[in-house]
């Protein structure tokens, strides 16, 4: 049973517009959430994280929103750029992020068109 779900395998957005990537989780013990970005032939790289004590975290063009009651988080990219085209993985962990064995979703492939 998947504990972290990314229901959209792909997303296509025009350059300059907003990209919204969604993630749902089932385990109420999760209290730390991260987004990783992966380019082809490279390993995933950390993008942004959020603790369950917050409902929003912003870093430049990237903002992550957490809705604990709905067990849902989303990543907003504004404005989207062609270089943002990659696979985005949502990940979660329990125990205040002290475990590195993150549970990952299957990823969403974002394509930003010029």
Q: For residue 92, which of 38, 51, 44, 42 has the smallest C-alpha distance?
A: 51
Among 88, 89, 92, 110, binds another protein (CB under 8 A): 89
Q: Is 100 in the site for another protein (CB under 8 A)?
A: yes
C-beta closer to another protein: residue 13 or 92: 92
Q: Least Å distance between CB 16 and another protein?
A: 29
Q: For residue 112, which of 80, 77, 89, 90 has the smallest C-alpha distance?
A: 80
Total of residues contacting another protein (CB under 8 A):
28
**CA 2 – CA 10 distance, rounded (Å):** 18
Q: Which two tokens mark 32?
A: 């730390």
What x-and-dash track marks residues 30-59 binding another protein by CB under 8 A?
--x-x-x----xxxxxx--x-x--------
94 burial level (CB within 10 Å; 0-12, 13-18, 19+): middle
Among 18, 55, 99, 113, binds another protein (CB under 8 A): 99
Q: Least Å distance between CB 20 and another protein?
A: 19
């Amino acid at each position: 049973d998947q504990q972290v779900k990314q229901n959209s395998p792909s997303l296509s957005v025009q350059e300059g517009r907003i990209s919204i990537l969604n993630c749902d989780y089932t385990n109420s013990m999760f209290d730390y959430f991260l987004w990783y970005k992966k380019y082809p032939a490279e390993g995933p790289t950390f993008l942004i994280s959020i603790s369950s004590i917050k409902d929003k975290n912003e870093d430049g063009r990237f903002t992550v929103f957490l809705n604990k009651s709905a067990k849902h988080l989303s990543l907003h990219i504004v404005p989207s750029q062609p270089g943002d085209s990659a696979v985005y993985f949502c990940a979660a962990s329990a125990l205040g992020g002290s475990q590195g064995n993150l549970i990952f979703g299957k990823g969403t492939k974002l394509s930003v068109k010029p």
